[in-house]
């Protein structure tokens, strides 16, 4: 088939069968976030282009070539959000949150947009859960963030994830470190890959996460790679050590990754990420860090903050591959009626639906067709409105898994059915693909 319209490149439809898992995951996340005392904030899907340009850095790839930028009919220069933090911080300043209480714990979830070339785990519209702890410079804030970060994954059933972290220090020491890196690489500059030579100009720290085997061999040849952690100042080091101590105390497993960097100037100190190998190249499941320079960059008072973003699409891919978290479909009832009782069935369905999952045949087909539909529907119980029974004020209730039947009185039916559904889930697993014939 050739559909006239296709979903735009890099976008996808999530169908009812997929969404059970998503909704479950979102509900789990919401629970964790609430228990940590975070409040939800919803900001616009689009903002001034300049806001993102400012927070992401004019030279960043996101700003240069990955933004959905557009002019509206009023000629405003806008962009679909490529991340959450900028909008959240804009709201923080615009709504004067800093003047209410010093510390704010905020989360958001929803779609974000980036114009990249799609591949598995990378879409142009994708979903993130975003968290920010604004107002505290303390290492304890970093520890809480990372703990929350890990607990979200654990709530989804991830058990073997390892957080990688590093300190990226302050802009000044980072620049100095960049120079050291350049000097270290200078003797071999010509032999670096073209990509890495380019990175050396734009964002020297990024050279460290090259995947080019030639570059890696070169690093080996040059000896010990200078480490960011050796370049940070006293205060940053104290902060770093306090964060590690905090994580140890909480029991969070982590690894120090000296190659983990954040290019943008407002990032300070702690940076962290989590990866899953099964995803291939797009292995980052989530990441975050401290951004003590961000709010000032937006014209606000200097205000520290830590935050992270989790990519839901990738997390869902992993869960799907592992077959975990398959949500249990609600146990339901199928109402089957005869020609003479179809109208009564409609009314009964409406009544039962105040508390129960009820399906019936809107086409009022023959009884055999209704039986087949009931079998496929996944319903646990079949309620038959037989003409004779109905006249007597009774219905026949059949357990579709076991095949047993009973006759029940019409009054109080909802309660009895509710009780039947509440007990003893079917041993066969139920669903449309029943196995045994009684």
Site residues (CB under 7 A) for RNA, limited to 247-266:
263
Stretch that binds RNA, among 21-29, 89-97, 352-360, 384-392 (CB under 7 A): 384-392
User: For RNA, which is the closer residue by CB, 298 or 401?
Assistant: 401
What is the rounded radius of gyration, in angstroms, for the C-alpha atoms of the chain? 29
Question: Cα–Cα distance between 411 and 414 in angstroms, integer?
Answer: 8
The yes or no reply on residue 18 touching RNA (CB under 7 A) is no
- Here the contacts of 335-338 (C-beta below 8 Å, separation 24 or greater) are 335/359, 335/360, 335/383, 335/385, 336/360, 336/361, 336/367, 336/370, 336/371, 336/374, 336/382, 336/383, 336/384, 336/385, 337/361, 337/364, 337/370, 337/384, 337/385, 338/367, 338/385, 338/386, 338/387
Which residues from 282-301 bind RNA, rule CB under 7 A? 282-287
The yes or no reply on residue 384 touching RNA (CB under 7 A) is yes
Q: Percentage helix, strand, coil, to 5, in the chain?
A: 45, 20, 35
The yes or no reply on residue 120 touching RNA (CB under 7 A) is yes
DSSP state of 263: -
Q: Which of 206, 183, 304 is nearest to 264 (CA)?
A: 206
Question: Cα–Cα distance between 262 and 266 in angstroms, integer?
Answer: 9
The yes or no reply on residue 405 touching RNA (CB under 7 A) is yes
Report the residue from 366, 406, 411, 415 that binds RNA according to the rule CB under 7 A: 366
Stretch that binds RNA, among 17-25, 41-49, 114-122, 174-182 (CB under 7 A): 114-122
> What's the closest the beta carbon of residue 20 comes to RNA, in angstroms?
18
Number of Cβ within 10 Å of residue 59's Cβ equals 13
User: For RNA, which is the closer residue by CB, 245 or 340?
Assistant: 340
Please tell me the total number of residues recorded for the chain in this structure: 438
- The mark string for 328-357 relative to RNA (x by CB under 7 A, - otherwise) is ----------x-------------------
Q: Which of 330, 302, 309 is nearest to 24 (CA)?
A: 330
Report the residue from 79, 86, 106, 310 that binds RNA according to the rule CB under 7 A: 310
The yes or no reply on residue 313 touching RNA (CB under 7 A) is yes
Q: Which of 358, 301, 295 is nearest to 331 (CA)?
A: 358
Report the residue from 108, 128, 170, 268 that binds RNA according to the rule CB under 7 A: 128
Which residues from 155-214 bind RNA, rule CB under 7 A? 195, 199, 206, 209-212
Stretch that binds RNA, among 59-67, 101-109, 236-244, 352-360 (CB under 7 A): 59-67
SS3 416: helix
The yes or no reply on residue 119 touching RNA (CB under 7 A) is yes
> What's the closest the beta carbon of residue 101 comes to RNA, in angstroms?
27
The yes or no reply on residue 314 touching RNA (CB under 7 A) is yes
């Amino acid at each position: 088939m050739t559909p006239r319209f296709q979903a735009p490149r890099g976008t996808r439809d999530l169908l009812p069968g997929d969404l059970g898992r998503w909704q479950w995951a979102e509900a789990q996340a919401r629970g964790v976030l609430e228990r940590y005392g975070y409040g939800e904030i919803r900001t616009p899907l689009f903002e001034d282009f300049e806001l993102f340009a400012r927070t992401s850095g004019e030279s960043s790839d996101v700003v240069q070539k990955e933004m959905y930028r557009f002019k509206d009919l009023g000629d405003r220069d806008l962009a679909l959000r490529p991340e959450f933090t900028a909008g959240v911080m804009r709201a923080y300043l615009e709504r004067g949150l800093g003047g209410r209480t010093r510390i704010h714990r905020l989360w958001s979830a929803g779609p974000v947009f980036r114009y990249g070339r799609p591949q598995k785990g990378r879409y142009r519209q994708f979903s993130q859960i975003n968290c920010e702890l604004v107002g505290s410079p303390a290492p304890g804030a970093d520890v809480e963030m990372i703990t929350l970060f890990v607990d979200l994954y654990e709530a989804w059933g991830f058990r073997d994830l390892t957080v990688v972290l590093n300190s990226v220090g302050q802009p000044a020491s980072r620049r100095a470190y960049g120079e050291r890196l350049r000097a270290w690489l200078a003797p071999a500059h010509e032999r670096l890959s073209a990509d890495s030579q380019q990175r050396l100009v734009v964002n020297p720290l990024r050279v460290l996460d090259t995947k080019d085997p030639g570059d890696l061999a070169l690093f080996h040849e040059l000896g010990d790679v200078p480490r960011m952690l050796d370049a940070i100042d006293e205060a940053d080091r104290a902060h770093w050590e306090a964060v590690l101590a905090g994580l140890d105390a909480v029991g969070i497993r982590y690894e120090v990754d000296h190659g983990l960097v954040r290019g943008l100037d407002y990032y300070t100190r702690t940076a962290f990420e989590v990866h899953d190998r099964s995803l291939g190249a797009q292995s980052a499941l989530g990441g975050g860090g401290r951004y003590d320079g961000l709010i000032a960059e937006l014209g606000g008072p200097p205000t520290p903050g830590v935050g992270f973003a989790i990519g839901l699409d990738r997390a869902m891919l992993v869960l799907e591959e592992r077959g975990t978290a398959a949500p249990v479909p609600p146990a339901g009832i199928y109402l089957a009626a005869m020609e003479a009782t179809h109208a009564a069935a409609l009314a009964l369905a409406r009544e039962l639906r105040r508390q129960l999952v009820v399906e019936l045949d809107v086409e009022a087909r023959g009884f055999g067709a209704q039986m087949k539909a009931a079998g496929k529907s996944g319903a646990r119980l079949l309620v038959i409105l037989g003409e004779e029974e109905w006249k007597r004020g009774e219905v026949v209730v059949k357990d579709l898994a076991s095949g047993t039947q009973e006759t029940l009185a019409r009054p109080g039916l909802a309660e009895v059915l509710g009780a039947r559904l509440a007990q003893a889930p079917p041993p066969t697993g139920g669903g449309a693909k029943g196995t045994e014939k009684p």
